Structure 1
Amino acid sequence: MSSGDRPVPAIALDQFGLLCAVLAAVGFSFKAILVKLAYRYGVDAETLLALRMAFSLPFFIGMAWVSVRRATSRLTPQDGVWLFGLGLLGYYLASYLDFLGLRYISAALERLILFVYPTLVVLLSALLFGQRITGRVLSALALCYAGIALAVAHDWRLVGSTRDLALGSLLVFGSALSYALYLLGNGRVVNRLGVLRVTAFASIVAGLLAIGQFLLLRPVAVLLLQPGPVYALALAMTLFSTVLPVWGVSEAIRRLGAGPVALTGSLGPIVTLLLAWLLLDEALGVGQLAGAALVIMGVTVMARR
């Protein structure tokens, strides 16, 4: 057997899987930074989201084609309804509310608020399906929302408008809630349809909705006349905060399992805090760091078996 035919040692596969998970966490965290940088050129949320989705659509269409070739069953009309709802909630509405919220709050606060979506999944599961909330989960919830309170207090001392802070925080919280609803719905169909097919078709739905929204609200010329840096940032958002993380998470789960990959997501708030400080000149204070630590602790406690 030639050296090129030798199997890769298991430890190398684990290391590569960990690398994929870390890159995915960093890529997702970098999105808010790219959005804030693009806003400096006067682009609005609807146009920026449409550009991101337009650049991403070929990738997700390719994913859909691969998933259809691998599938052992066809999609039913009921499946189509589920996929439309998942695309509406998880990839369109969650993204749109997030983009709107970033107009008003810092990238660091946005990432911390988004990061509490697991707590919303737990609360919604208790509300809708009667799942019991344990004492450990209540402690995790307390940690998470105490951390959010510290981060909001940090930003409140710095921003000029309390109204903007409240509006931006509510919009991003709405994004987290929309994503939590997506995850609940995703769990009802993903085992039957497969992760690849659900992700691909839901993303295509979201892309078409975002582009359709833009066409209803803006003339096409607005999309074509953006400054060059806006196109570059939208393309970077597509490659490094959409395509790479989606592939990275899928590959990492295949190699490591879902548990370790979920824990690497805890890097997200810290990465965003540091990048916002370095690239956006956002203030980095003790309250914000303490808030991030509490949120990460809460989510980690909740994620433990």
Structure 2
Amino acid sequence: MGRPVPSPTLQMVASALAFSAMGVCVKQVGGRIPTAEVVLARALVSVVLSWWLLRRAGIDPWGQRRGLLLWRGSIGTVALACVYAALATLPLASATVLQYLYPTFTALLAWLVLGERIGGRVVVAMVLGWAGVLLVAQPAQLFSGGTPLAPLPVLVAVAGALTTAIAYVSVRSLGRSEHPLVIVFYFPLVAVPLSLPFVLLDPVVPTPTELLWLLGVGLFTQLGQVSLTRGLTALPAARATALSYVQVVFAGVWGWLLFQERIETATIGGAALVLLATLISLSSRRSDPEGAADR
């Protein structure tokens, strides 16, 4: 008898834990190692693992719609750089909350690009999502108390959510003709040559400890994506996203334990609004087993 397969719920929680650990690794090196170098390290680990999985499954790695695959890899690389830059500069919980704007952006882009129906729910979700962003960011012009976040990192985090949504829409289109492993493979395949010139312009030799953290970025990301894919194939999108939102809790705990980050009341309120926006935007959509976020 084979080993028992973990339940989809446990898969989603494991995915959230792995992605939160990835955030810890990014934050550990983010003060000294440039973002492009972190992206390159993650891509190198992922391209090796993805190639091995493709060869093991006997799947042609090059796909059919190569132009769109290259585009998905390119926009995914931009999203990854934004996410990593936000994780390095913002509190872990706040950066994670802002990243979870991507389902709302995806619903809007799917309407604009793919012609998928959009209704009043998505509009309500967008309003709630942006209200959540304001609570998390606490701009000085609107809030007299609390600790406002620096505007530029917040914009970078929102840009990461937007570009993640663009990558999602590309994945939805590619899913009609490409194997999921091929789509995953093209992401690091494109990220390596895109990030390498930036690394060469500003190279920083990592210490042995930093090398371990960089390896952790790639390994935890791969573990998170595997668990996420397995969970999403067996759960409705709304429930799966609600479960994956436990990543915000994990991020808050890691930030408090390792980086002495306070969890602001406004961050909790903003997280609740973004989660509600996410559930509303997904409530009328089918499960999409191949829509894994770029991390």
TM range (shorter): 0.7 to 0.9
Which is worse superposed, 98-107 or 110-119?
Answer: 98-107
Matched, 1:29 2:29: no
Greater fraction of residues in helix: 1
Structure 1 residue 269 displacement after superposition = 1.9
Aligned to 2:9: 18
Aligned to 2:63: 75
Aligned to 1:96: 81
Q: Which runs of 5+ in 2 are unaligned?
A: 285-295
Q: Pick from 60, 64, 67 the counterpart of residue 50 of structure 2.
A: 60
CA distance in 2: counterparts of 1:86 and 1:303, whole angstroms: 22
CA distance in 2: counterparts of 1:74 and 1:166, whole angstroms: 40
Matched, 1:84 2:70: yes
Residue identity opposite 1:158 in structure 2: T
Residue identity opposite 2:162 in structure 1: L
Residue identity opposite 1:84 in structure 2: L
Contact 1:147 1:291 in 2 (8 A): yes
Aligned to 2:290: none
CA distance in 1: counterparts of 2:51 and 2:196, whole angstroms: 15
Contact 1:266 1:300 in 2 (8 A): no
Matched, 1:169 2:154: yes
CA distance in 1: counterparts of 2:224 and 2:105, whole angstroms: 23
Structure 1 residue 133 displacement after superposition = 3.4
SS of 2:263 mapped into structure 1: coil
**CA spacing shift, 1:53–1:128, aligned 2, 3 Å:** closer
**CA spacing shift, 1:122–1:256, aligned 2, 3 Å:** closer
Structure 1 residue 87 displacement after superposition = 0.6
Q: Deviations 1:160-196 (Å, cap 9, x if unpaired)? A: xx7xx11111111111111111111111111211212
The two structures have a TM-score, normalised by structure 2, of 0.84
Structure 1 residue 56 displacement after superposition = 2.6
Contact 2:16 2:247 in 1 (8 A): yes
CA distance in 2: counterparts of 1:151 and 1:139, whole angstroms: 19
**CA spacing shift, 1:247–1:113, aligned 2, 3 Å:** same
Q: Deviations 1:206-245 (Å, cap 9, x if unpaired)? A: 2332234323x135xx3xx3122211111111112x1101
Residue identity opposite 2:84 in structure 1: F
RMSD of the alignment, in Å? 2.6
Q: How does 1:1-305 map to 2 (within 5 A)?
A: 4=1, 13=5, 15-40=6-31, 42-66=32-56, 69-70=58-59, 75-76=63-64, 79-90=65-76, 92-129=77-114, 131-153=116-138, 157-158=146-147, 165-215=150-200, 217-219=201-203, 222=204, 225-240=205-220, 242-256=221-235, 260-305=239-284
